[in-house]
A and B are shown apart, each in its own frame.
Chain A
Amino acid sequence: MRTITIALIISALNIYNAFSQTVRKDSIAAIELSEVVVTATRTEKQLGSLTTPLTLIKKSQIQALGALRLTEVLQEQTGLAIINDHGQGIQMQGFDPDYTLILIDGEPLVGRTAGTLELSRIAVNNIKQIEVVKGPSSSLYGSEALAGVINIITDTPQRTQGGINLQYGANQTMNVNGQVSFRHKKLGVYLFADRYSSQGYDFNPDVYGATVEPYANYTFQSKIKYDFSPNLKLTLSGRYFQETQEQRSEVGGNTPLIVSGEGIQTDGNFLMTLDHRLNKNLKLQYRLYHTLYDTESSLRYETDQQMFAESFFKQRFTRPEIVANYYFNTQHFLTLGVGGTLESVRATRYDGEKTFNTQYVFGQYEWTPAKNLTVIGGARLDMHSVYGQQLSPKFSTRYQLAPWLALRGSVGVGFKAPDFRQLYLNFTNTTVGYSVFGTEEVVAGVDRFTQAGEILNVFTDPSTFTTLNPERSIAYNFGLDMKWKNGLKAEVNLFRNDIENLIETQIVARKTNNQSIFSYTNLREVFTQGAEVNVSYNLLKNLQIKGGYQYLIAKDKAVVDQLDRGEVFKRDPVTLVTTRVKPSEYGGLFNRSRHMANIRLFYTHKAINASLRAVYRGRYGLGDLNGNQILDADNEYVAGYWLWNASVAREFGRLVRLQVGVDNLLDFRNETMIPGIAGRLWYIRASLNLGKQ
């Protein structure tokens, strides 16, 4: 099967011999011609012509927010919630952060902690635009693209210019960054450097250690472009990030001891791209990508500097890939790709080095039978060294019903491969005493404890933990795009995701120390469904208003069935009286808000730019308090809240720009439930731009 598909691709590449522009003009107004996006189809497309929902965030918008890190940009977008779980990640269409693929220039970032990729690792001042695709994109990108894809597209050397930004704000947050770009004939060079530091903050001065400890990080990025000819272009880009954060905590019981140290995380990536246009109809792109993510931390007793705990984690990811675009005529367009990935992890919590490799092929066919109708079908086959094959098809279409109204619809499959942790983790918590084993390690792990006589009883036979299957979803998205002559725009998207094989921790055995041994199993089936609406309108010539809303239902299917059978009970924690839970009382999965909304005002007048943005996150479940492990009681929710952000910027000629702003204007805090929200934060920024106009 594999060889046949590859042979097909190679012959496809050889046979066809013609190429022309992949960006086809349509009836979109000239002002939006610059709104070209690449993430939805892996080809350049007009934003207004897509068959799937996509949010485009341009550089000017990022600047207007006064944002420095990616989290600050994403948290103001409709339908995205920042989730704090071993780092700040994004929740999309009700999926946890594990299920959104994060790309930089089309290549994945690695280094997730308990499934969350810390988005504040990413500086935003070198970003050209951010594209957020909602709905599964595994048919193009493979694993992790269940909920969607966030593609961060960095600046390219367009012309010779340079600039410096300085920002200072609350919590002694300081940012300095600069970039230079150089373009001469066939050569373009872009360099970017950024330093970000913060003193953090502490909501709990009585407890040793701060809520957020001081940290500092550096980002460097470079891009070199060389055009051998108009038909052969080379791009080399590299990015390096390093963050150091202080760590302090109290350990021990009656006589607490202070341990302290440093945690360092490093993240680097390198991408080489060769674009080769063979002829009018055929374009080839060769890509070679390598990325690494390392963390290390050490904690020592402050009294005698003896080592308390030391850990490291090193992940590597390498991917060669060839993508071919073949343009038959205005109606038919084909994309084919073939590639492979090699991944490895070495860490304190793993036995030796663990490796994965995957080979994959994908294809996508775009058909435009009429000027107002686009149909796209595609599929990707991933062949993984541990869990086998995975086929992810997707079908989508767009129909322009009237000049002001277009319909969009898609059906697609998304998947997420079991990660290293779920397969290979070999970890025993030394302070508490529990153990977690990946499914490939659990038999040996339990054996070891059995021989040591440390197993009290076994609940699930470890040999029944077979290799995990990928988590899989089928998603349906249906949308309307509306645009009126008076400038009013509205987008509606309805979505439904049915997810099966969700990987959960399961208790395997109990040890003589009364602690458990955990492993992972494919267990749950859940669904998420809802609606998203985005509206924008020019209230006045200088004043634009944007609004967004998402309604979301996300439930565990097994719990829904149990509720229907009357098998779920709750115990009032105060009166201790137990009653049956009604199906209508089920609030769905924890940490999901039924309602999220935003209202944003942007004002532009001559050299002044100002914005006032309000983001609402409705109430969401935090944890069970009445003995049934599900969300069903009012006191299990965190109350909904608004965050108000404002900024004003003024340009002085073309050279200088000053900006002041306040995030969380009303100083909203919920120290115990949401420690990640720091309270009111002001900042001031000065920018200097130099360059030929």
Chain B
Amino acid sequence: MYKSRLFLLLGLLMAFTACKKEESETVTPPLETLTFKNLEAPGDEIDRGTGQIIKANPFIYFSFETGGVVDASANWDIGFKGTTLVFNGGTSGSGQGGALIQLGTFDEKIEAPESTAFRTDSDSEFAVPTGSDNGWYNYSGPPNFLITPLAGRIIMVKTNDGKYAKVEVLSYYKDAPAQPNAFTDQSGTYTFRYMYQADGSRTLK
């Protein structure tokens, strides 16, 4: 009886000191969750009759460091074109970049995976696989032909210089309409939520 009380006391003491310690560390504020709206990255325009490309569109590149769209020559992290995402590494770029899709909510994913767990783009497959339900989206096919970002798929990202970030795609249509219409809303227009850890650690919270 006496013993257990002592343990309780010790426990409380430890909890108290632990709290103290955390407070002193969180002088650096928690990382900011940012939302980037309407990144326009249309896919190639194709003649539906012949399958020939009428107009090839470029990848549109995004950098977490600048928090915006950058040139292909800059230190980009993610490239967008149509429903395809590329990361600055492997066959897609000269950086250390890669990605890994994880199941969960954005807030739950508070730590990036080990560096070695990331996948890079290769000739056979992208780090974030393309195709309906394989990667970040579902394609409904007829009659609505909608691209819907799958809920609960978080893209963990390794940036071009080996830092970490997490991304959740929210919409593929301009202004993220609550009920998108594939025929009238502008597609290939990304809205996504992200968090970037600039200090090189894997902490994402």
B171 CB, nearest partner CB in chain A, Å:
7
Whether A624 sits at the interface, judged by CB under 8 Å, is yes
B57 CB, nearest partner CB in chain A, Å:
11
A568 contact set on B, CB distance < 8 A: 152
Assess whether B43 is in contact with A514, with CB atoms less than 8 Å apart.
yes
Name which of B11-19, B47-55, B64-72 contacts chain A: B47-55
Whether A43 sits at the interface, judged by CB under 8 Å, is no
B43 CB, nearest partner CB in chain A, Å:
6
Name which of B22-30, B111-119, B131-139, B158-166 contacts chain A: B131-139
Contact of B152 among A512, A573, A580, A625 (CB under 8 A): A580
CB-CB nearest in chain B for A453? B51
CB-CB nearest in chain B for A429? B142
Whether B198 sits at the interface, judged by CB under 8 Å, is no
CB-CB nearest in chain A for B51? A454
A326 CB, nearest partner CB in chain B, Å:
52
Mark each residue of chain B from 120 to 156: 1 if its CB lies under 8 Å from any CB of chain A, else 0: 0000000001111110001101101100111110000
Contact of B130 among A452, A510, A515 (CB under 8 A): A510
Whether A69 sits at the interface, judged by CB under 8 Å, is no
Whether B110 sits at the interface, judged by CB under 8 Å, is no
B46 contact set on A, CB distance < 8 A: 433, 512-514
How far apart are the CA atoms of A578 and B48 in the complex, in Å? Answer: 35
Assess whether A516 is in contact with B141, with CB atoms less than 8 Å apart.
yes
CB-CB nearest in chain B for A507? B132
How far apart are the CA atoms of A624 and B103 in the complex, in Å? Answer: 19
With A512-B51, A573-B179, A580-B105: A459-B152 Cβ-Cβ less than 8 Å? no
Which residues from 53 to 90 on chain B have a C-beta closer than 8 Å to any C-beta of chain A? 53, 82-83
B132 contact set on A, CB distance < 8 A: 507, 516
Which residues from 83 to 110 on chain B have a C-beta closer than 8 Å to any C-beta of chain A? 83, 103-106
Contact of A457 among B44, B106, B131, B193 (CB under 8 A): B131
Assess whether A626 is in contact with B49, with CB atoms less than 8 Å apart.
no
Which residues from 608 to 654 on chain A have a C-beta closer than 8 Å to any C-beta of chain B? 623-629
Assess whether A510 is in contact with B131, with CB atoms less than 8 Å apart.
yes
How far apart are the CA atoms of A431 and B179 in the complex, in Å? Answer: 24
A567 contact set on B, CB distance < 8 A: 103, 152
Assess whether B178 is in contact with A627, with CB atoms less than 8 Å apart.
no
A443 CB, nearest partner CB in chain B, Å:
19
Assess whether B141 is in contact with A628, with CB atoms less than 8 Å apart.
no
Which residues from 156 to 196 on chain B have a C-beta closer than 8 Å to any C-beta of chain A? 168, 170-171, 176, 178-179, 191, 193
- Number of A-B pairs whose CB atoms are under 8 Å? 92
A306 contact set on B, CB distance < 8 A: none
B150 contact set on A, CB distance < 8 A: 569, 627-629
How far apart are the CA atoms of A510 and B139 in the complex, in Å? Answer: 11
Whether A465 sits at the interface, judged by CB under 8 Å, is no
Contact of B148 among A456, A515, A569, A624 (CB under 8 A): A624
How far apart are the CA atoms of A514 and B106 in the complex, in Å? Answer: 29
Assess whether A459 is in contact with B131, with CB atoms less than 8 Å apart.
yes
Assess whether B142 is in contact with A628, with CB atoms less than 8 Å apart.
no
Whether A4 sits at the interface, judged by CB under 8 Å, is no
Contact of B106 among A431, A578, A627 (CB under 8 A): A578
How far apart are the CA atoms of A573 and B152 in the complex, in Å? Answer: 14
How far apart are the CA atoms of A569 and B148 in the complex, in Å? Answer: 13
Q: By DSSP majority rule, is chain A's interface helix, strand, loop, or mixed?
A: loop
CB-CB nearest in chain A for B35? A576
CB-CB nearest in chain A for B129? A459
How far apart are the CA atoms of A568 and B104 in the complex, in Å? Answer: 8
Contact of B179 among A433, A515, A576, A625 (CB under 8 A): A625
Which of B129, B134, B148 has its CB near the most chain A CB atoms (within 10 A)? B148
Which of B105, B134, B149, B152 has its CB near the most chain A CB atoms (within 10 A)? B152
Whether A579 sits at the interface, judged by CB under 8 Å, is yes
Whether A574 sits at the interface, judged by CB under 8 Å, is yes
Which residues from 300 to 341 on chain A have a C-beta closer than 8 Å to any C-beta of chain B? none
Contact of A578 among B47, B144, B145, B151 (CB under 8 A): B151
CB-CB nearest in chain B for A576? B170
Assess whether B138 is in contact with A629, with CB atoms less than 8 Å apart.
yes
Assess whether B130 is in contact with A578, with CB atoms less than 8 Å apart.
no
Assess whether B53 is in contact with A628, with CB atoms less than 8 Å apart.
no
How far apart are the CA atoms of A454 and B51 in the complex, in Å? Answer: 6
How far apart are the CA atoms of A452 and B50 in the complex, in Å? Answer: 10
Contact of B51 among A459, A511, A628 (CB under 8 A): A511
B104 contact set on A, CB distance < 8 A: 569
Which residues from 234 to 263 on chain A have a C-beta closer than 8 Å to any C-beta of chain B? none
Assess whether A432 is in contact with B142, with CB atoms less than 8 Å apart.
yes
B193 contact set on A, CB distance < 8 A: 576
CB-CB nearest in chain A for B131? A459
Assess whether B152 is in contact with A434, with CB atoms less than 8 Å apart.
no
How far apart are the CA atoms of A434 and B106 in the complex, in Å? Answer: 34
A526 CB, nearest partner CB in chain B, Å:
18
A597 CB, nearest partner CB in chain B, Å:
31
CB-CB nearest in chain A for B107? A578
CB-CB nearest in chain B for A626? B151
CB-CB nearest in chain B for A562? B103
Contact of A512 among B53, B149, B151, B179 (CB under 8 A): B53
How far apart are the CA atoms of A569 and B101 in the complex, in Å? Answer: 14
Assess whether B151 is in contact with A571, with CB atoms less than 8 Å apart.
yes
B106 contact set on A, CB distance < 8 A: 578
How far apart are the CA atoms of A535 and B179 in the complex, in Å? Answer: 43
How far apart are the CA atoms of A431 and B145 in the complex, in Å? Answer: 13
Whether A570 sits at the interface, judged by CB under 8 Å, is yes
How far apart are the CA atoms of A293 and B173 in the complex, in Å? Answer: 43
CB-CB nearest in chain A for B125? A457
Assess whether A432 is in contact with B170, with CB atoms less than 8 Å apart.
no
Assess whether A516 is in contact with B139, with CB atoms less than 8 Å apart.
yes
B81 CB, nearest partner CB in chain A, Å:
11
B54 CB, nearest partner CB in chain A, Å:
10
Mark each residue of chain A from 560 to 601: 1 if its CB lies under 8 Å from any CB of chain B, else 0: 000000011111011010111000000000000000000000
Other than A569-B105, A629-B150, give 9 A-B pairs with Cβ distance below 8 A: A432-B145, A512-B51, A514-B44, A567-B103, A571-B170, A578-B168, A627-B151, A628-B150, A629-B138
Of all A-B residue pairs in the complex, the 10 with the closest CB atoms, nearest first, are A569-B152, A627-B151, A569-B151, A433-B48, A513-B46, A571-B151, A573-B178, A454-B51, A459-B131, A576-B170
A residues neighboring B (CB under 8 Å): 429-434, 452, 454, 456-457, 459, 505, 507, 510-516, 518, 567-571, 573-574, 576, 578-580, 623-629
B residues neighboring A (CB under 8 Å): 43-44, 46-49, 51, 53, 82-83, 103-106, 129-134, 138-139, 141-142, 144-145, 148-152, 168, 170-171, 176, 178-179, 191, 193
User: 11 interchain pairs (CB within 8 A)?
Assistant: A432-B142, A433-B51, A454-B51, A457-B130, A457-B131, A570-B151, A571-B151, A576-B170, A624-B148, A627-B151, A629-B133
